[in-house]
Amino acid sequence: MTAASYLIRGASLLGTAAGDLLVRGGIIAAAGENLGPDVVGDATVIDAAGLVALPGLVDLHTHLREPGREDSETVETGTRAAALGGFTAVHAMANSSPVADTAGVVEQVYTLGRESGWVDVRPVGAVTVGLAGKQLAELGAMADSRARVRVFSDDGICVSDPVMMRRALEYVKAFDGVIAQHAQEPRLTEGAQMNEGKVSAVLGLAGWPAVAEESIIARDVLLAQHVGSRLHVCHVSTAGSVEIIRWAKERGINVTAEVTPHHLLLTEELVRSWNPVYKVNPPLRADADVHALRAALADGTIDIVGTDHAPHPSEAKECEWAAAAMGMTGLETALSVVQETMVETGLMSWADVARVTSTAPAAIGQLADQGRPLEVGEPANLVLVDPAARWNVDPAAMATKGRNSPFAGMELPGRVVATFFHGHPTVLDGKLNTPFIHGGN
Amino acid sequence: MRHLLDTESLSRDNAIQILDTAQEMSAVGEREVKKLPALRGRTVVNLFFEDSTRTRISFEAAAKRLSADVINFSAKGSSVSKGESLKDTAQTLEAMSADAVVIRHWASGAPARLATSGWIDAAVINAGDGTHAHPTQALLDAFTMRAHWSQLAGTPSVGGDLAGMRVVIAGDVLHSRVARSNVWLLRTLGAHVTLVAPPTLLPVGVGHWPCEVSYDLDATLDAGVDAIMMLRVQAERMDASFFPSTREYARRWGFDDARLARLDELKLKDTIIMHPGPMNRGLEISSSAADSARSTVLPQVRNGVSVRMAALYLLLSGEMREQATPAPSNAKDNS
Ligand SMILES: [Zn+2]
């Protein structure tokens, strides 16, 4: 079976000039204006007038839950959701059960991803055995495994012991890895339920103070500087964290930072509804934080958008606030929220969106064939988005198993029309098509 | 208004309606036959996820004096200990055709969750949730203050409010649902509230509350006060370093004998001393203060039944006036 080819006709490349892209053999085989029949051949034509073409999105922060919590999500359902959201690669966080702290588990997740074929699944390795913070996991074995792990994180839990963090930062230099820190000082956040401030005071919910995030980031950038290593800060949520990261970058410290879509759009005021769909870690913050995060993403202080897609079964949210699980789904809404908060506000161009959702996360994760320019010879991992579309978020209609979308009922701009993964359309007409078969199609 | 969940969203009209109705109900308590047929055939469930014999008995007496059928449902255990879920419990009560659910819960917001989840159709009365709210306690406190305040003014208490009354609330504000409910209700009724506590026992964000905040109990008393409400302080807070020792706490923030004497020196002869109970005698309040003529501890207990009768009656009879409840703010922010 010969690989199908596709002509993307008249897409706005990175939101600028309109052009054609010929996708054939897994790569962008030709590009230009009004490609002629001699070049196009029998390619299936996709009319992309009015659509924006971007490199396929890369998520550095996805919870796929498999192995162990298949009631919440599987690699199959999570990667379907990713493809629908315009992603061509996701990094699967290590807090599965068993924890992804050995070569065996990361290879299992990697293989499940290959078999599903919706996106590249790049496992994140745990920093410490069992995420327990006591003993370094076999980082080298995970790096050398078929999964070629480069991002290590105890996400969900902070590597709070300063010596452990120092050692981890030092050790991953041996294979150019990066430690992705979930910055949360544990003693300052015992029992924490929401942002500590005006709203927690009224609601009587235990506070998660901004300083618990900021103090860890401050410590970690100094550690990264001291040992000359690379630090990635997950889900930055406060204005103060932005200031610390800006300061660190000015000093030449090798730090990258991430913000989630929900922290770009939602505030702690939503907690007044007592609906646990708004319970997340780090918590939704105040309006001033939201605006600082947007500004930081626009000026490059924050490098990437990471979804922190965290599906939960409905019973984990159908309960009292304090008993509810933390986390929100995000893969299928991420690009729309970025458009809403960054593009429609005039803070970013589509080229900037491509940088923060694809190029930069691919660079942090060291994915050579992701986040590439839309040019001839490059791998055909790309997404077509209709920026003029608007849609109502309905969690029941999503591909993820999780129904815990905080955007439920909102109208958001932008719709993913097609996703190409290794030149194969995983999504067409806004619907799942077929997966890419490694070595096949 | 279908539920009584907090006092922040309680309008002045509704608050005064409850207090006035409680006044009528208190007359029932003084009769030989302490019973009204008002809620005959209606079912009130006392749903307690947290022990509180005092509050449960008060609600039970209130419902029985209104001739309602009362079911006590003790649902112990948290999600951590894998107790029965709130949703399952609610659906059980719905199947039992409960007309009102009086809920006490260890988790802040559980009553609001019950009222807005669609799991149950009954009226929900918050009997204390976590560190969030305890509206009937605040209403009985306000009822007690209003009786005193109107007596001093020589005006009828019915229809009246607390305009101009200076109220000091002292103690563990951070963990107190009583304080949270009192601050909003007393503000609504026109009182001037000052919170006094060690800084460790005040929530970050208290500066946004409609009250004054002080760390100095003596200076606050010296400035003049009409009612002092002492909050319960758990000695175990000491272990989490909220204060160094119970001795130091009692000395700086307790209502001790010296402060009781100081009220006399200040010629504040009409100042009352309140406590929601149960008291830690010798910690936040001295025995002589608790037992002095100024103390309203026992009238507070008595008034609790009247206020709870009023709340049950108004919610179940549908006579509670509609108020413009502030919709839960949707904080989607696109600016
Ligand atoms: Zn995290």
Q: Is B41 exposed, middle or buried (0-12, 13-18, 19+ CB in 10 A)?
A: exposed
By percentage, how much of chain B surpasses pLDDT 70? 93
Residue B83 pLDDT exceeds 70: no
If pLDDT is split at 50, 70 and 90, which confidence band does A84 have?
Answer: very high
**Which of B296, B178, B171, B302 is CA-nearest to residue B242?**
B171
Tokens of A24: 């054939």
- Sign for the pseudo-dihedral over CA of B28, B33, B37, B43: positive
- Does CATH place domain B12-133+301-317 in 3.40.630.30? no
What pLDDT score does B34 carry? 80
Which residues of chain B are at the A interface, by a Cβ-Cβ cutoff of 8 Å? 8, 78-80, 85-87, 105-110, 112-113, 116-117, 129-133, 177, 180, 203-206, 208-209, 328-334
- In this structure, the dihedral spanned by the alpha carbons of residues A183, A188, A192 and A195, taken in order and rounded to 10 degrees, is -70
Q: Which residues of A touch B132 (CB under 8 A)?
A: 203-205
B177 marked as part of a ligand binding site = yes
Question: Rounded to a whole number, what is the distance in Å from the CA of A38 to chain B's nearest CA?
Answer: 48
What pLDDT score does A439 carry? 78
What pLDDT score does A297 carry? 98
CA angle B326, B331, B335 (to 5 degrees): 125
Q: Is the peptide bond before B156 cis (omega within 30 degrees of 0)?
A: no
With H, G, I as helix, E, B as strand and everything else as coil, classify residue B57.
Answer: helix
CA angle A375, A381, A384 (to 5 degrees): 90
Contacts of A111 (CB under 8 A, 6+ apart): A146
With H, G, I as helix, E, B as strand and everything else as coil, classify residue B332.
Answer: coil
By percentage, how much of chain A surpasses pLDDT 90? 97
Q: What is the pTM of this model?
A: 0.94
If pLDDT is split at 50, 70 and 90, which confidence band does B236 have?
Answer: confident
> Shortest CB distance from A270 goes to which of B86, B108, B331?
B331
- CATH class of the domain comprising A6-53+376-432: mainly beta
Q: Is the peptide bond before A282 cis (omega within 30 degrees of 0)?
A: yes
A263 marked as part of a ligand binding site = no
Q: Is B118 exposed, middle or buried (0-12, 13-18, 19+ CB in 10 A)?
A: exposed
Whether A42 has its CB under 8 Å from any CB of chain B: the answer is: no
Cα B56 to ligand 1 centroid, rounded to whole Å = 41
Residue B72 pLDDT exceeds 50: yes
B247 marked as part of a ligand binding site = no
Q: What is the SS3 assignment for A272-341?
A: HHCCHHHCCCCCCCCHHHHHHHHHHHHHCCCCEECCCECCCCHHHCCCCHHHCCCCECCCCCHHHHHHHH
Question: What's the gap between Cα B103 and its chain centre?
Answer: 14
For strands A382-392 and A52-55, give the pairing. Answer: antiparallel
Q: Do B12-133+301-317 and B135-296 come out as alike in CATH topology?
A: yes
What ipTM was assigned to the predicted interfaces of this complex? 0.91
CA distance A259 to A287: 15
DSSP A125: B
Question: Rounded to a whole number, what is the distance in Å from the CA of B208 to chain A's nearest CA?
Answer: 7
Tokens of B173: 């504000």
Question: Tell me, which fold does domain A56-365 have in CATH?
Answer: TIM Barrel (3.20.20)
Residue recorded with tokens 């860890």: A216
Q: Which residues of B touch A201 (CB under 8 A)?
A: 203-206, 208-209
Mean pLDDT, residues A325-348 taken together: 98
What pLDDT score does B330 carry? 41
What pLDDT score does A147 carry? 97
Residue B327 pLDDT exceeds 60: no
B278 marked as part of a ligand binding site = yes
Q: Is the peptide bond before A209 cis (omega within 30 degrees of 0)?
A: no
A262 marked as part of a ligand binding site = no
Residue A211 pLDDT exceeds 90: yes
What phi and psi values does residue B272 have, to the nearest 5 degrees?
Answer: -100, 155
Question: Rounded to a whole number, what is the distance in Å from the CA of B53 to chain A's nearest CA?
Answer: 23
Candidate list A59, A308, A352, A386, residue with the active-site label: A308
Supply the CATH classification number for the domain B135-296: 3.40.50.1370
**Residue A111 host element (H or E):** helix A103-116
Q: Which residues of B touch A413 (CB under 8 A)?
A: none
If pLDDT is split at 50, 70 and 90, which confidence band does B1 have?
Answer: confident
Q: What is the SS3 assignment for B140-161?
A: HHHHHHHHHHHHHHCCCCCCCC
What pLDDT score does A441 carry? 58
Q: Are A412 and A337 in contact (CB under 8 A)?
A: yes
Report chain B's mean pLDDT, rounded to a whole number: 91
What pLDDT score does B318 carry? 83
By percentage, how much of chain A surpasses pLDDT 70? 99
Cα A93 to ligand 1 centroid, rounded to whole Å = 9
> Shortest CB distance from A323 goes to which of B107, B328, B333?
B107
> Does the beta-carbon distance from B203 to A200 stay under 8 Å?
yes
What pLDDT score does B168 carry? 98
Q: Helix crossing, B297-317 with B135-153: angle to 10°?
A: 110
Contacts A–B by Cβ distance under 8 A: 102
Residue A292 pLDDT exceeds 60: yes
Mean pLDDT, residues A42-46 taken together: 95
Q: Which of A105-114, B96-105, B143-152, B322-331 has the lowest mean pLDDT?
A: B322-331
Please write the tens of the pLDDT for every residue from A247-272: 999 999 999 999 999 999 999 999 99
Residue B326 pLDDT exceeds 60: no
Cα A282 to ligand 1 centroid, rounded to whole Å = 7
Please write the tens of the pLDDT for every residue from A28-42: 999 999 999 999 899
**Residue A37 host element (H or E):** helix A37-40
Residue recorded with tokens 């036959």: B33
Contacts of A1 (CB under 8 A, 6+ apart): A441
CA distance B276 to B232: 8
What pLDDT score does A132 carry? 97
> Does the beta-carbon distance from A320 to B131 stay under 8 Å?
no
Q: Are B194 and B211 in contact (CB under 8 A)?
A: yes
If pLDDT is split at 50, 70 and 90, which confidence band does B78 have?
Answer: very low
Residue A308 known to be catalytic: yes
CA distance B290 to B297: 7
Q: Which residues of A touch B107 (CB under 8 A)?
A: 320-323
What pLDDT score does A81 carry? 98
What pLDDT score does B331 carry? 39
Residue A283 pLDDT exceeds 60: yes
Residue A64 pLDDT exceeds 50: yes
Q: Domain residue spans in chain B?
A: 12-133+301-317, 135-296
If pLDDT is split at 50, 70 and 90, which confidence band does B32 have?
Answer: confident
Mean pLDDT, residues B73-86 taken together: 64
Tokens of B133: 């709210």
Q: Which residues of A touch B117 (CB under 8 A)?
A: 318
